[in-house]
Amino acid sequence: MEIVIRRRRTRKIRVEDNKVVFKKLKEHVIELPQEVIEFVKKNIRILQWLVYDSPISSYLRHPGAVKSLILLLYSRVSEKPITVVAKEAKTFHEQLYRIERRLKELRIEEVYKYLVK
Contacts of 14 by beta carbon, 8 Å cutoff, 6+ apart? 20, 21, 22
**Domain boundaries of the chain, sorted by first residue:** 13-114
Q: To the nearest 10°, report the CA torsion of 69, 73, 75, 76.
A: 140
Please report which confidence band the pLDDT of residue 40 belongs to, taking 50, 70 and 90 as the band edges: very high
Which tops the pLDDT comparison, 110 or 41?
A: 41
Lowest mean pLDDT among 26-30, 71-75, 86-90, 107-111: 107-111
